[in-house]
Structure 1
Amino acid sequence: MPGTLWHSPAALAWLQTILRERFGHAFVLQAQPDGSGMALRLPGDARCISLALNGATFARADSDLPCTLWNAAAEGWQPALPGALPAPGAAQLPAPLITPADNGWHIGYDILGLTYWMLTRQEEVGRTDLDNHGRFPAVHSHAYKHGYLERPVVDEWLHVLGQVIARTWPGIALKQHQFSMKVSHDVDAPSRYGFASAKGLLRAMAGDVLKRGDIKNALRAPWIRLNTRDALHPSDPFNTFEWIMDLSDQHGLTSAFYFICGRTSAMDADYEPEHPAIRALMRRIHERGHEIGLHPSYGTYQKPELIAQEAQRLRTVLAEENIRQAEMGGRMHLLRWEQPTTLRAWADAGMNYDSTLSYADRPGFRCGTCFEYPAFDSVLGQALKLRVRPLVVMECSVIATRYLGLGLGEEAKRKINLLKNACICVGGCFTSLWHNSELKMMEEQELYMNMLHKQFK
């Protein structure tokens, strides 16, 4: 399903915004009338960077594009990450790739087309090769097939473009980005026992005894259930919220907690946002200076009206509790996503940002970037009033046997730190998802703490 050509007027205006956010200057993009290239200029300056234009390739909604590699260091340019730089969409590249030209430089690769294709997720539009939850899986993506899913390839190419800009306009002060982290927590299960039905409680107790050998928690379960009225019980194994916020405070981070506010499937939560214990939890999160957001229920990703309803339900609860926030964002339940239906639904619901876009089956850079950016609907060819905050790693994508299956040991630590280090190298943001219910064991807590501590380059 072809989308809008990336060099349409609306797309060019959006890309100019991307460049202004990245480099701190209002560059102007102009497509050559014959479609042979793209010119990047500063207003009132005769100097120019010309780039190859591969518009048809980067309007494709499939994963069968060619891909080659470029050795930046061999041609005198500084790569952001070690190794040759993947060049999606190109079967081969000219050598040298970047050459002097009249009043500037020429780049023989369509960096801006790649940026458009990756950030708009045009690759995913209309796909039918989905998993059992209706999600486009990593293993079908171009990035996975060509081995660059764990690299922020857009950020790497923009790093090169920044060097060309500096040579074209010597002395220009480009915006400097500093590495940062954002931690978020989908509240699928705020309590192990507190909101369970009688049948659900018995099932949980049986699981504690038979699967985990945890007789202590099984015996406490009825007491916890009876005493989860006005607040979560302190002995509930899923009640890790204070621990999470303590750790975030120690690291100067703000934890974002995303709450489910609807029932569209048995896959959804067993609590209601209006419950006194959930209201108390939200008040506590707000009192401590952390964030509350939306986690739309399982059946909403193709139904914008339901996302809007659930967003309003959350806003109502927050207003009743006198909780005011500068912005509200969140993430889809189980990372269910249909491009661009779900993206537009978030914008139409008046949300400020979405942080869904990572693959469930593999961690990495689904959008090719670790920087937050303005959303663009490639089908309608429109910029949206919404920010996309790419998710780099979800804990179960790394740990769970149904996904990468690395467990809780050194392999998992290495994988998480590899992805974090890639964000450090490009000065981006390492955005993580760790469920409150997946921090009940010491090994889980140690892996989470390691993720927050470890920094290197």
Structure 2
Amino acid sequence: MKVLLYTQNHLPRLQYICSFIFEELLGIECIVTTGCEVFKTYEGIKINYSNSPVCSNEFHLSPTGLLAEQTITPQTIDCFKINNYKAFFKTENSDFAFDIFSTAFYLLSRYEEYLQHQKDMYGRYAHENSLAFREDFLHLPLINIWVKDFAVALQNKFPSLVIHVPVFKFIPTYDVDIAYSFKHKGLMRNVGGFLKSPSLDRIQILLGLRKDPFDTYDWLIDLHEQYKLYPVYFFLVAAKNGLYDKNILPAKKAMYQLAKKHADKCAIGIHPSWQSGDDDNLLTKEIAQLRLMSQQEITKSRQHYIRFNLPAGYRRLLKENISDDYSMGYGSINGFRASVTSSFYWFDLENNETTSLRIHPFCFMEANSYYEQKLSADSAFEELMQYYTACKEVNGELITIWHNHMVGEDNLYKGWGRMYENFLKKIM
């Protein structure tokens, strides 16, 4: 199945978004042409993406101009409702109510994050700036929803059109940034911790009489095997600790063994330290460290504290031969940061080109529910089920973030491990 799309000029932004919408979400080959006569004589399914009709047997979609631009400038966004969902870049005299190519590109490319904006307390793009938050659609994979409606409109025009939608996937991911609560922290850290907060639990755990409450690794492995899940683990391996980097140091044998154990069973990636955000050389060293510990190449990444800014953050990863990043989400609220629940290639707006970096967006992190949204485990379960339903309805990918220490036996996070297990029982 092929679609021929006519445009007056070759547009890198249009080529990018068409590849994503047609080939990745709809399973249709899309050929973009600037030849008007070629378009007119084509007998298959064809879309005219220009200001004027070309022929009678076409699907006409008027462009609003964003994809023809080569610079980054503030856009006028006026949202309206269509099929009970928000949309923008409204069009007139078209076979679709809005310029779906431009709207999807605006959100997917994170266009607004290149514009002047307010940072949050961690120096990140604040979610309050985003159109999705302001217009109350952060909880929706809006691009997937639009594409679903767009496919129906195309099929109404061309009944022979066959859509091949992706299969829904659930991908659990884990950040190991506090590997153990008491074990393997060394004498000085444990003595200091005990003096600050005397605890019989600490003594029993250090004596081997009780299990460390953050040691949930075997339990998680059993869950993955039981439900046939394929998780991804991200390890923080900073050479020294800091204000936001508090893991067991990679020089410890226990951390070597932990990384190798998981690398032998599942996919792993680097969890770049907070410190590496201020020093590119540290990122290089941390990737090399994890490569040594796991004895495999490291091509996946997720930023610690979701600390990154565009485009510099992603360019750093490309420089380090990272092919897949899992940081596209907020570290301050759950939801769809790029308004999509499918992975996509990053488009570098400044260079106006598609890159080889694959972005895997997450929509739920238990730490957001607990620390930022102040939800109980039971309330977070309901929130998580809503994201599961939203992703499944559009045949997307539900990527969640968990932390080994939050699903363990620490009293501070009591009930969260049970909540996670109940979630898996319900959906699998």
TM-score class, shorter-chain normalisation, is 0.7 to 0.9
What's the counterpart of residue 453 of structure 1?
425
Between 263-272 and 363-372, report the one with greater CA deviation. 263-272
Structure 2 Cα separation of the partners of residues 302 and 173 of structure 1: 49
Confirm or deny that 1:138 pairs with 2:138: no
What's the counterpart of residue 408 of structure 1?
377
Structure 1 Cα separation of the partners of residues 26 and 12 of structure 2: 20
Structure 2 Cα separation of the partners of residues 187 and 61 of structure 1: 39
Structure 1 Cα separation of the partners of residues 115 and 300 of structure 2: 25
Secondary structure (helix, strand or coil) at the match of 1:69 reads strand
Amino acid at match of 2:334: P
Say if 1:373 and 1:219 are closer, same or farther in 2 by CA, change over 3 A. Answer: same
User: What does 1:327-338 correspond to in 2, within 5 Å?
Assistant: 328-338=299-309
Structure 2 Cα separation of the partners of residues 451 and 88 of structure 1: 35
Say if 1:28 and 1:305 are closer, same or farther in 2 by CA, change over 3 A. Answer: farther
Structure 2 Cα separation of the partners of residues 234 and 112 of structure 1: 57
Confirm or deny that 1:440 pairs with 2:405: no
**Conserved 8 A contact 1:16-1:26:** no
**Conserved 8 A contact 2:184-2:252:** no
Structure 2 Cα separation of the partners of residues 221 and 206 of structure 1: 16
Say if 1:384 and 1:46 are closer, same or farther in 2 by CA, change over 3 A. Answer: farther
**Conserved 8 A contact 2:366-2:380:** no
C-alpha deviations, 1:95-145, integer Å up to 9, x for none?
xx8x6xxxxxx2231111111111111111154411111111222211111
What's the counterpart of residue 218 of structure 1?
202
Say if 1:344 and 1:31 are closer, same or farther in 2 by CA, change over 3 A. Answer: farther
Flag structure 2 segments of 5+ consecutive residues without an equivalent: 1-8, 37-46
Confirm or deny that 1:179 pairs with 2:148: no
C-alpha deviations, 1:196-217, integer Å up to 9, x for none?
35453245446765xxxxx442
C-alpha deviations, 1:144-201, integer Å up to 9, x for none?
1110000001111111121123233322321122221011111101111234354532
Structure 1 Cα separation of the partners of residues 152 and 224 of structure 2: 35
Flag structure 1 segments of 5+ consecutive residues without an equivalent: 1-6, 72-83, 100-105, 210-214, 225-232
Secondary structure (helix, strand or coil) at the match of 1:366 reads coil
Between 384-393 and 173-182, report the one with greater CA deviation. 173-182
**Conserved 8 A contact 1:120-1:376:** yes
Confirm or deny that 1:394 pairs with 2:403: no
What's the counterpart of residue 382 of structure 1?
353
Give the alignment's Cα RMSD to 1 decimal. Answer: 3.0
Structure 2 Cα separation of the partners of residues 304 and 381 of structure 1: 24
**Conserved 8 A contact 2:241-2:247:** no
What's the counterpart of residue 266 of structure 1?
243
C-alpha deviations, 1:58-86, integer Å up to 9, x for none?
97666973211112xxxxxxxxxxxx111
Confirm or deny that 1:419 pairs with 2:390: no
What's the counterpart of residue 254 of structure 2?
277
Structure 2 Cα separation of the partners of residues 303 and 121 of structure 1: 24
**Conserved 8 A contact 1:355-1:388:** yes
What's the counterpart of residue 286 of structure 1?
263
**Conserved 8 A contact 2:259-2:293:** no
**Conserved 8 A contact 2:346-2:355:** yes
TM-score by length of 1: 0.79
Structure 1 Cα separation of the partners of residues 300 and 110 of structure 2: 20
**Conserved 8 A contact 2:217-2:404:** yes
**Conserved 8 A contact 2:175-2:235:** yes
Say if 1:342 and 1:390 are closer, same or farther in 2 by CA, change over 3 A. Answer: same
Structure 1 Cα separation of the partners of residues 128 and 234 of structure 2: 27
TM-score by length of 2: 0.84
Structure 2 Cα separation of the partners of residues 48 and 276 of structure 1: 65
Say if 1:208 and 1:87 are closer, same or farther in 2 by CA, change over 3 A. Answer: farther
What's the counterpart of residue 191 of structure 1?
180
Secondary structure (helix, strand or coil) at the match of 1:253 reads coil
**Conserved 8 A contact 2:175-2:403:** yes
Confirm or deny that 1:164 pairs with 2:153: yes
**Conserved 8 A contact 1:183-1:255:** yes
Say if 1:64 and 1:218 are closer, same or farther in 2 by CA, change over 3 A. Answer: farther
Secondary structure (helix, strand or coil) at the match of 2:178 reads coil
Structure 2 Cα separation of the partners of residues 62 and 415 of structure 1: 33
Structure 2 Cα separation of the partners of residues 303 and 50 of structure 1: 50
Q: 2:332 aligns with which of 361, 371, 380?
A: 361
**Conserved 8 A contact 1:61-1:124:** no
